[in-house]
Structure 1
Amino acid sequence: MALHIAVQDDHDYLNEKQLQQVKDLLQFAADQMKVGNAELSLTFVDNPTIHKINLEYRGKDYPTDVISFALEEITEEEVPIIGEDVPRVLGDIIVSVPKAVSQAEEYGHSFEREIGFLVVHGFLHLLGYDHMEKADEQEMFALQEDILNKFGLTRS
């Protein structure tokens, strides 16, 4: 099944090859997680933009590397839309490219590996994974590493 990805990169941070790799990675992750027919948006931004989003939605007054907004979290008042041809709408992933650049340098791996890590991290959040508790963190980070390594985006 296909994962439909709407990408926005207003600053043209990623070249065509990098964008295709990110799309391929997300499709691979969706296949690994058996997501099926779904869609999400992926936006690449600068530090001031993600800082503003982080402050407005999370109350954190600093730029972060990735933020996800899951749309499958249904409240009591909402009714899920279920249909054979209706894709799951997973949500939005927002990545700070300048943060990814600095973190890739800090961790000593490629920019592509760092972007891949952040995108998979955001994707797993959309699927309901978190890292608030130690056991949840271990599970989520193990999944991230497994997906990235199987895809070929290793730390070296």
Structure 2
Amino acid sequence: MGLKLECNNEQEILEIGEDLIELLNTLLQKAGEAEGVAEGEVALTFVDDEEIHTLNREYRGVDRPTDVLSFAMNESVEDEQEIIYELEEGEELDGFGDMLGDIIISVETAKAQSEEYGHSLTREIGFLFVHGFLHLLGYDHQDEASEAEMMGKQEAILAQVGLTR
């Protein structure tokens, strides 16, 4: 199966073209290779600030927009709600076994950040995508050491496709 990217566009700020999707798929392959992840599916959704603000408030308790959110399928949270599936006789539950998780990117915030940092919007979206993917694999940046590790991995992957600062 390999690594598979499913893209959804729920914003009108930026037209999401095939070139961008192709680049993100390449980044997914490079990041997977770097991390030893050969199979799985990532769902990527592009939204605006209003939508990511709602998600950030609902799932993280943070009442503001953010640039990227990641929801890993293999995370276990103490207060996580159980999901119960009722299957018909002979029906099998599938489609979740290879799902690594969801990444949501606010194109509105990405655009503002690309202008602030002085690089392209494509570079910023690529950075946020790789950042989100590493979160799906369990990386975090709660302290200086883990942030430095994550930043190093992100920059190395981005450099492979020419998305440097």
> Shared fold by TM > 0.5?
yes
- 1:37–1:87 CA contact under 8 A, matched in 2: no
Aligned to 1:66: 68
- 2:56–2:63 CA contact under 8 A, matched in 1: yes
Pairing 1:134–2:139 present: no
Structure 1 portions without partners, runs of 5+: 79-85
- Please report the TM-score for the alignment, with normalisation by the length of structure 1: 0.87
Supply the distance in 2 between the matched residues of 1:15 and 1:59 (Cα, whole angstroms): 33
Matches within 5 A, 1:1-156: 2-11=2-11, 13=14, 14-74=16-76, 88-155=98-165
Q: What code does the residue aligned with 1:4 have?
A: K
Aligned to 1:82: none
Structure 2 portions without partners, runs of 5+: 83-95
Which of these two proteins has the greater Rg computed from alpha carbons?
2
Supply the distance in 2 between the matched residues of 1:88 and 1:142 (Cα, whole angstroms): 27
Residue-by-residue CA offset, 1:20-63 (whole Å, 9 max, x unaligned): 11121112211121101111110000000000000001111110
Q: What code does the residue aligned with 2:132 have?
A: G
> Would you say how many aligned residue pairs link Structure 1 and Structure 2?
148
Q: What code does the residue aligned with 1:52 have?
A: T
Q: What code does the residue aligned with 1:37 have?
A: E
Identity of aligned residues (%): 52
- How far 1:9 sits from its partner (Å)? 0.8
How well do the aligned residues superpose, as a CA RMSD in angstroms?
Answer: 2.0
Runs of 4+ in 1 over 4 A off after TM superposition: none
Supply the distance in 2 between the matched residues of 1:88 and 1:139 (Cα, whole angstroms): 26
In structure 2, relative to structure 1, the CA distance for the partners of 1:87 and 1:31 (3 Å cut) is farther
- How far 1:126 sits from its partner (Å)? 0.2
